[in-house]
Amino acid sequence: MAVFTHGNISIEIDEDGFIEDPSTWNEDVAKALATTEDVFELTPNHWKVIHYLRDYFAKYGIAPMIRQLCKETGFPLKEIYELFPSGPAKGACKVAGLAKPTGCV
Protein backbone atom coordinates (compact mmCIF):
# COMPACT_ATOMS: atom_id res chain seq x y z
CA MET A 1 0.00 0.00 0.00
CA ALA A 2 1.26 3.48 -0.81
CA VAL A 3 0.08 7.00 -0.23
CA PHE A 4 -0.56 9.14 -3.26
CA THR A 5 -0.20 12.89 -2.79
CA HIS A 6 -1.19 15.60 -5.21
CA GLY A 7 -1.65 19.19 -4.01
CA ASN A 8 -3.78 18.98 -0.87
CA ILE A 9 -4.97 15.49 -1.66
CA SER A 10 -3.47 12.51 0.09
CA ILE A 11 -5.03 9.07 -0.34
CA GLU A 12 -4.05 5.43 0.00
CA ILE A 13 -3.63 3.55 -3.27
CA ASP A 14 -2.78 -0.05 -4.13
CA GLU A 15 0.03 -1.49 -6.29
CA ASP A 16 -1.94 -0.66 -9.43
CA GLY A 17 -2.59 2.92 -8.42
CA PHE A 18 -6.27 2.25 -7.62
CA ILE A 19 -7.90 3.79 -4.57
CA GLU A 20 -7.64 1.51 -1.55
CA ASP A 21 -10.98 2.51 -0.03
CA PRO A 22 -13.60 3.62 -2.61
CA SER A 23 -15.54 5.49 0.10
CA THR A 24 -12.69 8.01 0.48
CA TRP A 25 -13.30 9.24 -3.07
CA ASN A 26 -14.55 12.72 -3.91
CA GLU A 27 -14.34 14.96 -6.96
CA ASP A 28 -11.02 16.47 -5.91
CA VAL A 29 -9.60 12.98 -5.51
CA ALA A 30 -10.79 12.25 -9.05
CA LYS A 31 -8.93 15.28 -10.36
CA ALA A 32 -5.80 14.17 -8.54
CA LEU A 33 -6.06 10.55 -9.74
CA ALA A 34 -6.66 11.74 -13.29
CA THR A 35 -3.16 13.23 -13.39
CA THR A 36 -1.73 9.72 -12.96
CA GLU A 37 -3.55 8.82 -16.16
CA ASP A 38 -2.19 11.83 -18.04
CA VAL A 39 -5.59 13.49 -17.93
CA PHE A 40 -5.05 17.04 -16.74
CA GLU A 41 -8.51 18.48 -17.16
CA LEU A 42 -11.77 16.76 -16.39
CA THR A 43 -14.39 17.92 -18.90
CA PRO A 44 -18.18 17.39 -18.59
CA ASN A 45 -17.71 14.28 -20.75
CA HIS A 46 -15.22 12.85 -18.27
CA TRP A 47 -17.65 13.52 -15.43
CA LYS A 48 -20.47 11.82 -17.29
CA VAL A 49 -18.41 8.62 -17.46
CA ILE A 50 -17.20 8.97 -13.88
CA HIS A 51 -20.67 9.51 -12.44
CA TYR A 52 -22.16 6.62 -14.38
CA LEU A 53 -19.41 4.32 -13.11
CA ARG A 54 -19.87 5.46 -9.53
CA ASP A 55 -23.65 5.06 -9.60
CA TYR A 56 -23.38 1.56 -11.05
CA PHE A 57 -20.67 0.59 -8.58
CA ALA A 58 -22.74 1.85 -5.64
CA LYS A 59 -25.64 -0.32 -6.79
CA TYR A 60 -23.89 -3.56 -7.80
CA GLY A 61 -20.48 -3.47 -6.12
CA ILE A 62 -18.58 -4.05 -9.38
CA ALA A 63 -17.88 -2.12 -12.57
CA PRO A 64 -20.44 -2.30 -15.39
CA MET A 65 -19.94 -4.09 -18.69
CA ILE A 66 -17.91 -1.98 -21.08
CA ARG A 67 -20.69 -2.14 -23.66
CA GLN A 68 -23.22 -0.94 -21.11
CA LEU A 69 -20.96 1.96 -20.15
CA CYS A 70 -20.73 2.97 -23.82
CA LYS A 71 -24.47 2.68 -24.37
CA GLU A 72 -25.55 4.48 -21.22
CA THR A 73 -23.11 7.36 -21.62
CA GLY A 74 -23.46 7.53 -25.39
CA PHE A 75 -19.70 7.40 -25.93
CA PRO A 76 -18.36 4.75 -28.30
CA LEU A 77 -15.34 2.81 -26.99
CA LYS A 78 -13.02 4.92 -29.10
CA GLU A 79 -14.14 8.05 -27.29
CA ILE A 80 -13.79 6.42 -23.90
CA TYR A 81 -10.15 5.77 -24.83
CA GLU A 82 -9.79 9.38 -25.92
CA LEU A 83 -11.11 10.51 -22.54
CA PHE A 84 -9.16 7.93 -20.53
CA PRO A 85 -6.11 6.70 -22.47
CA SER A 86 -5.69 3.46 -20.47
CA GLY A 87 -9.27 2.53 -21.31
CA PRO A 88 -12.47 1.96 -19.37
CA ALA A 89 -11.17 -0.55 -16.80
CA LYS A 90 -7.66 0.64 -16.02
CA GLY A 91 -8.27 4.33 -16.69
CA ALA A 92 -11.87 5.39 -16.13
CA CYS A 93 -12.49 3.09 -13.17
CA LYS A 94 -9.31 4.32 -11.51
CA VAL A 95 -10.30 7.98 -11.77
CA ALA A 96 -13.84 7.17 -10.63
CA GLY A 97 -12.41 5.61 -7.49
CA LEU A 98 -13.65 2.08 -8.11
CA ALA A 99 -11.75 -0.98 -6.98
CA LYS A 100 -9.57 -2.43 -9.74
CA PRO A 101 -11.69 -4.69 -11.96
CA THR A 102 -10.80 -8.36 -11.39
CA GLY A 103 -10.77 -11.50 -13.55
CA CYS A 104 -10.02 -11.69 -17.26
CA VAL A 105 -11.48 -8.33 -18.24
- The enclosing H or E element of 4 equals strand 2-6
Nearer to another protein, 54 or 100 (CB): 100
From 92, 91, 94, 49, select the one nearest 74 (Cα to Cα).
49
Instruction: Report the site for another protein in 44-103 (rule: CB under 8 A).
Output: 60-63, 65-68, 71, 76-78, 81, 86-87, 89-90, 100-103
Judged by CB, which is closer to another protein: 31, or 91? Answer: 91
Asked if 18 and 2 count as a contact pair (C-beta separation under 8 A), the reply is no
30 or 93, CB closer to another protein?
93
CB atoms within 10 A of CB 21: 11
The C-alpha atoms of residue 8 and residue 80 are separated, in whole angstroms, by: 28
| Whether 93 is catalytic | no
The residues in 6-25 that bind another protein, with binding defined as CB under 8 A, are: 14-16
| Cβ proximity of 72 and 84 under 8 Å | no
Active-site annotation, residues? 104
Rule CB under 8 A: which residues touch another protein?
2, 14-16, 60-63, 65-68, 71, 76-78, 81, 86-87, 89-90, 100-105
